[in-house]
Chains A and B, each alone.
Chain A
């Protein structure tokens, strides 16, 4: 028995409606969780951005502490030309839009990974470790940005790695 983990996503106007245990992290031309990318209206037009996504790691179950040493990065997968994945950790939720988030490219090495804090909610996840149960990471805000050179279709398999200490 240890902690159990799931991804949550917030959508809509602030403070956002949480969906627990989302089953996919697809980017799309719509602000909703578990996006079906086979739906034409959900596809991101070439040269445009996806709606930003606000995803958080949610811990429950049996543990004394989550953290420290939380890190998140893209550990595998290559993005096609004309496509970039932007990412940041933030404690502040704003309604997702297609406007560029202004975040940098997601780190692709552990050494430059995004630092991940933990707390009793996404907004309170400001410390390196927490004894709160349940506990959350801050919002992992991410957005897919494309240029006119982006190819048609899915971006291919990418691996997102989350690393942390637990006791």
Chain B
């Protein structure tokens, strides 16, 4: 059996100021579905990236990026910041196996993805409504890719 270590544990913060961490002090783990079961998530932090579900902004290495900023892929979100947003979090796992031994040739390559998704109701700019999604991918070497 093979596994991998979590490089960037998550921390969820809620409206009432409480926090839920992926790992408790005793080392036990909270599954991400516990976050999804809550309806009052405000912030979700993964490594150097924190997404704020209230205004859709990303705090990356201490720099806040919003829909109105000029950074590539962040400009022209053009959505109402009050729209409800759904948290996106997953790990994209890539495993390379030797076909003969079926043993892994190296540690899995794990990219962490964090962001949000929202549905824009029909309006003048979007007559049929629109699905908006923004994700930041965090690579093992710390490289960030915005989608």
Contact = CB atoms under 8 A, between A and B. Distances in A.
B93 A165 contact: yes
Contact of B100 (A69, A131, A154): A154
B98 A166 contact: no
A71 B99 CA distance: 16
A24 interface: yes
Nearest to B29: A1
Interface centre among B1, B2, B105 (most CB of A within 10 A): B1
Interface string A91-129: 000000000000000000000000000000000000000
Interface size class of B (residues with CB under 8 A): 20 to 34
A89 to B, nearest CB: 16
A23 interface: yes
A38 interface: no
Contacts, number: 93
Contacts of A4: 1-3
Contact of B33 (A6, A64, A164): A64
A60 to B, nearest CB: 8
A21 interface: yes
A157 interface: yes
Nearest to B99: A158
Interface residues of A, number: 37
B102 interface: yes
A26 B91 contact: no
Contact of A163 (B3, B5, B93, B103): B93
B99 A5 contact: no
Nearest to B5: A2
A71 to B, nearest CB: 9
A154 B105 CA distance: 18
Given A64-B33, A159-B98, A159-B105, A165 B91 contact: yes
B92 A7 contact: no
Contacts of B100: 24-26, 154, 157-158
Contacts of B32: 64-65, 167
Contact of A62 (B2, B29, B102): B29
A25 B3 contact: no
A3 interface: yes
Contacts of B61: none
B1 A23 contact: no
A162 interface: yes
Q: Which of B94, B101, B102 gathers the greatest number of chain A CB atoms within 10 Å?
A: B102
Interface string A2-29: 1111110000000000000111111000
8 contacts: A1-B6, A2-B91, A23-B102, A25-B99, A158-B98, A162-B94, A165-B113, A167-B32
